[in-house]
Amino acid sequence: MPRRKPGTLFPLEYSILESGAALQSKDGTFYGFSLARSLSEETGTLTAHGTLYKALTRMTEAGLLESTWEDPAAAENEGRPRRRLYTVSAAGRQALAKASAAASTVVTESSFA
C-alpha cells in the first residue's frame, strides 16, 4: 500500500465519503451494497467488494465513518442478512471538505499555467 501524508485521502476514500454523504442525505445511513451501486453508477466501473469493505473498515477505524448493525427484525422481515449501516462522521465531512478544497485549488492553479 502506498504511503501517504496524514490527513490525506486515497481516491477511493474520497469517492466513498462523497457518495456516502449523498446516500446519507437521502436515507439517513448507507450500507456497503448501496454504496457499491452508487459508485458504479458514478464511475461506470465496479469496485471489488473486498476492496470496498476493507476501505470501509479502515475508514471506520480512522473515525471518518461510524457504523452500526441494523435491527435484526428488519433484516428478518425482508428475508436477508443484517446490514452494517454507515454514516459519514464529522471528521469524515471535514476530511471531504478539505480534500474538495485541495482538488479545486489544484484545478484552478493548473488552469492558469
Is residue 5 pLDDT above 80, yes or no? no
pLDDT confidence bin for 49, thresholds 50/70/90? confident
pLDDT confidence bin for 113, thresholds 50/70/90? low
| Gap between the Cα atoms of 113 and 111, Å rounded | 6
Domains and CATH numbers, the chain: 11-106 (1.10.10.10)
pLDDT in tens, 60-107: 999 999 999 999 999 999 999 999 999 999 999 999 999 988 877 654
> What does the pLDDT read at residue 34?
95
Is residue 45 pLDDT above 90, yes or no? no
> Which grid coordinates are listed for 38?
452508487
pTM for the whole thing? 0.84
Handedness of CA 39, 42, 48, 52 (dihedral sign): negative
> What does the pLDDT read at residue 2?
58
Q: Which residue has the cell 470496498?
A: 52
